[in-house]
Each structure stands twice: as structure tokens, then as C-alpha cells.
Amino acid sequence: MSLRVLIVEDEFFIALDLQDQVEEAGHMVTGVVRDVESCRRASREKPPDIALMDLRLADGSSGIDASRWLYDAMGVRCIFISGNLDDETRRILADVEPIAFIGKPILGHQLKRELDRFRDRLTRRIE
């Protein structure tokens, strides 16, 4: 089973690298977006199984807000990817049930491991 993955990242080269890593891991990218509004649009058009979420997005928007909308409106959980993953941020995000936190720079084996773990949990639920 491959996952449908939404990438929410405002840095072009990081988003491109994430897309490559997701596809190399055998999953499908449903969209690459830069802010909360485009996250909402993309999620409605092609619902993801999971999102890769940066915390600071374009135009001053927040990955925290985007992740709350994904969780509340779509039931989608996130892997948070950021250089700012302090204890307070983790506490704030606890109610959206994060899959994982990955610090930047992103190592491919970390992302693949977390995507595989999530896929395995989904597969067990379906069976």
C-alpha cells in the first residue's frame, strides 16, 4: 500500500527534496503547497492520508493552524518537519496527534522510516 502524502513547505528546494524522498519511498505526492489556504484547497481536491508539515509557512501563515484544520476537517495527521521543535511546540501540537517530529536538515532514512511506520499502522487497521 502506498500513502497519499501532502507536502506543506514554503521553501522550494526543501519541498522538492521532500517530494523526491516520498516518491523514492514508493508513495504518491498529492500536492506541494506553501500556506494554510493552499493546504485546504489541495486537501479537498486530493485527500491525503498524511501530511508533511513545516511550522513556518509562506505569508506568515502557520503550520500549526494548517495541521489543526487537516486534523479537525479531514482527519489527517502530520509528520512535522522543522528546525524549531522545542518542548513547547510539541505540547501545543499534541492535540493533533502528530505521527512524528523530524528536525531539519531532513535525512531520507528518517522520513522513510516514519512513512513506513504510519503505512504499517494504516494497513493493520484496514485488515
Mean pLDDT value of segment 8-24: 96
Asked if 28 contacts 2 with a C-beta cutoff of 8 angstroms, the reply is yes
Calculate the average pLDDT of the chain.
93
Express each pLDDT in 96-108 by its tens digit.
999 999 988 888 8
pLDDT, residue 76, reads 97
pTM: 0.94
Please report the DSSP string for 34-79 in residue order.
Answer: SSHHHHHHHHHHS--SEEEE-SB-GGG-BHHHHHHHIIIII--EEE
* Domains assigned to the chain: 4-126 (3.40.50.2300)
* Tens-digit pLDDT profile for residues 36-57: 999 999 999 999 999 999 999 9
Burial profile 60-94: b = 16 or more Cβ within 10 angstroms, e = fewer: ebebbebbbbbbeebebbbbbbbeebeeeeeeebe
Q: For position 104, what pLDDT does the model report? A: 86
- Distance, CA of 50 to CA of 76 (rounded, Å): 6
Kindly state the cell numbers that stand for 76. Answer: 489527517
Phi, psi of 56 (to 5 degrees): -110, 115
Specify the pLDDT at position 127: 61
